[in-house]
Amino acid sequence: MVIKKVCCIGAGYVGGPTCSVIAWKCPDIQVTVVDKSELRIKQWNSEKLPIYEPGLDKVVKECKGRNLFFSTDIDSAIKEADLIFISVNTPTKTYGIGKGRAADLKYVEACARKIAEVAENNKIVVEKSTVPVRAAESITHILSANRKLNVSFQVLSNPEFLAEGTAVDNLLNPDRVLIGGEESPEGDAAVAELSWIYGHWVEAEKIITTNTWSSELSKLASNAFLAQRVSSINAISALCEATGADVSEVASAVGQDSRIGSKFLQASVGFGGSCFQKDLLNLVYIAECVNLPEVANYWQQVTDMNVYQRTRFSKRIVECLFNTVTDKTLAVFGFAFKKNTGDTRESPAIYVCSHLLEEGARLNIFDPKVEPKQIEQDLTSADVTSDPERVLNLVNIYSDPYEAVKDAHAIAVLTEWDEFKTYNYEKMLSIMKKPAFIFDGRKILDHQALIKMGFHTETIGKRFSRNALQRASGEHFPAFSWTP
């Protein structure tokens, strides 16, 4: 088989960028991305794409209408395709067995059933969505139980390793492409076909082939290891605050050991995003299901530490503001789960803001990319409040950071947007209530400069002594309680 047509079911954060880059790098292949959501497809077909990814606009513009198409006609795209990516969402289950931990595979299953129903010739089906180990087995089972006569399927696992904000770069220059397949001549042939697609731009040594289960588990393990590094440095950050060490210095010293490496050691208010939490919980659930409670407990700690870190940060804000934020105004800089994305899924900002709102704070929120509607939706969801009306009364969303800080008691930086480093904080200080506080949950600001200006400055993994604060600003700081 020579792959001429590819279909991707799911035009989301994964399917959209992945298939746009495939279309860009493989002009000999026709790529059709389908979705059941008419709105999503309409957005992909418009000038303003539904997701923000640096470099994506250019890629889509070049290929759309040439060999890249977005459509809601799922049946036709499946029928015509030689290879089908399943890139639908696999959220954490919110009901029934495994609630709150297991991945919900209902959308993946729906795709498998649809493929079996409409396919009229042999297809390679590629599981791109993150799934539990052995999900390919279930997909294969559904496909073969429902297929038409003389139609056969090969199911491959090809997990994505895209980080938001750098998805296009990750696709163009991947550390590795992982392809798992059945250990049989047919499986090998299917793996070779998919490798051929990536071979258009990825060096052969970077295309790793494994058995299906290893591929599925590698995806979960990779995200668990990355999340574990963030939780490890965040655990050390709490120790730093209690002992006088500086977590940036510790991270730098630790990271210079080439066996450890320097990446993912940036202490923060906590990790967010659609993958880390979900994949960790999924791993925990799988370990429990195969009766490995020690393994489950080990990985559970990584997510527990993350909850501890963001709770610790919001408690610190309240404590520093003289143990009450009721009716105080706090400017929140950043709501996305990290910079260069408009995505807020599992963003630590949701939890820190909810905590502060519970304490009665008024929040003036500014984020350069997140839509106001999204912020409102996140803060009023049933997961974080039982009183959405009260929340909406306490929240104001701004499009100008200087407006957001007017008459505020404090600024809390919750996302590491580069532009936050460039603001005129002297000017901000002049229009804030005094004493003015700044809580840098991402360690991106020039703390010494802020202290000198007169900000009471707090950050993750480092304590500025009260003497230093007073010396630098020449001002008297009222006592505040601090429990290390």
| Phi, psi of 242, deg, nearest 5 | -85, -20
Q: Where in 132-161 is the site for ligand UDX (CB under 6 A)?
A: 160-161
Kindly list the distances between the CA atom of residue 374 and the CA atoms of 43, 118, 342, 357, in Å, as whole numbers in the listed order: 17, 36, 9, 17
Of 282 and 300, which CB lies nearer to ligand ADP in the complex structure? 282
Q: Which stretch binds ligand ADP (CB under 6 A): 3-11, 93-101, 360-368, 405-413?
A: 3-11
Residue 144 site contact among ligand ADP, ligand UDX, none (CB < 5 to 8 Å, cut-off depends on kind):
none
The C-alpha angle with vertex 93 and arms to 88 and 95, in degrees rounded to 5, equals: 135
The amino acid sitting at 24 is W
Q: How far is the CB of 366 from ligand ADP (least distance, A)?
A: 25
Residue 405 site contact among ligand ADP, ligand UDX, none (CB < 5 to 8 Å, cut-off depends on kind):
none
Q: How far is the CB of 459 from ligand ADP (least distance, A)?
A: 31
Determine, following the binding rule CB under 6 A, whether residue 425 of this chain makes contact with ligand UDX.
no
Determine, following the binding rule CB under 6 A, whether residue 268 of this chain makes contact with ligand UDX.
yes
- Alpha helices, DSSP H, located in 420-460: 425-430, 447-453
Determine, following the binding rule CB under 6 A, whether residue 155 of this chain makes contact with ligand ADP.
no
Residue 129 site contact among ligand ADP, ligand UDX, none (CB < 5 to 8 Å, cut-off depends on kind):
ligand ADP
**Whose CB is nearest to ligand UDX?**
273
Options 275, 289, 320, 353, the catalytic residue: 275
**CB-based contacts of 126, cutoff 8 Å, min separation 6:** 83, 84, 85, 86, 155, 156, 157, 158, 194
Q: Contact with ligand ADP (CB under 6 A): which of 274, 277, 282, 306?
A: 274
For residues 256 and 262, what is the distance between their CA atoms, to the nearest angstrom?
6
The C-alpha angle with vertex 358 and arms to 247 and 458, in degrees rounded to 5, equals: 25
Of 263 and 476, which CB lies nearer to ligand UDX in the complex structure? 263
Q: Contact with ligand ADP (CB under 6 A): which of 8, 88, 119, 350?
A: 88
Q: Where in 226-265 is the site for ligand UDX (CB under 6 A)?
A: 226, 230, 264-265
Determine, following the binding rule CB under 6 A, whether residue 84 of this chain makes contact with ligand ADP.
no
Residue 77 site contact among ligand ADP, ligand UDX, none (CB < 5 to 8 Å, cut-off depends on kind):
none
Of 143 and 162, which CB lies nearer to ligand UDX in the complex structure? 162
Beta strands in 143-283 (DSSP E): 153-157, 177-181, 207-211
Cβ(165)–Cβ(141) under 8 Å? no
Q: How far is the CB of 329 from ligand ADP (least distance, A)?
A: 34
Q: Which stretch binds ligand UDX (CB under 6 A): 23-31, 208-216, 267-275, 396-404?
A: 267-275
Active site residue 275: yes
Determine, following the binding rule CB under 6 A, whether residue 14 of this chain makes contact with ligand ADP.
yes
Residue 319 gets the label, from left (phi > 0), alpha (psi -120 to 50) or beta, of alpha
Q: Six-digit token pair at 421?
A: 């480093």
Q: In DSSP terms, which residues pair with 84 in a beta bridge? A: 7, 125
Determine, following the binding rule CB under 6 A, whether residue 10 of this chain makes contact with ligand ADP.
yes
**Farthest CA pair distance, the chain:** 83
Q: Directed axis angle between helix 348-358 and helix 372-380, to 10°?
A: 60
Of 268 and 473, which CB lies nearer to ligand UDX in the complex structure? 268
Residues contacting ligand ADP: total by CB under 6 A: 20
CB burial readout 355-373, b (16+ within 10 A) else e: bbbbbebbbbbbbbbbeee
Q: How far is the CB of 397 from ligand UDX (least distance, A)?
A: 21
Q: Is 164 helix (H, G, I), strand (E, B) or coil?
A: coil
Of 115 and 361, which CB lies nearer to ligand ADP in the complex structure? 115
Q: Which stretch binds ligand ADP (CB under 6 A): 29-37, 136-144, 253-261, 353-361?
A: 29-37
CA 57 to chain centre: 20
Name the nearest CA neighbour of 383 among 339, 414, 353, 416: 353
Determine, following the binding rule CB under 6 A, whether residue 118 of this chain makes contact with ligand ADP.
no
DSSP 8-state class, residue 421? G
**Whose CB is nearest to ligand ADP?**
12
Cβ(378)–Cβ(363) under 8 Å? no
Q: Where in 269-308 is the site for ligand UDX (CB under 6 A)?
A: 271-273, 275-276
Determine, following the binding rule CB under 6 A, whether residue 9 of this chain makes contact with ligand ADP.
yes
For residues 47 and 220, what is the distance between their CA atoms, to the nearest angstrom?
35
Kindly list the distances between the CA atom of residue 144 and the CA atoms of 95, 141, 149, in Å, as whole numbers in the listed order: 28, 5, 10
Determine, following the binding rule CB under 6 A, whether residue 344 of this chain makes contact with ligand ADP.
no
**Contact residues: ligand UDX, CB under 6 A:** 160-164, 223, 226, 230, 264-266, 268, 271-273, 275-276, 337-338
Query: What residues are labeled active site?
Result: 275
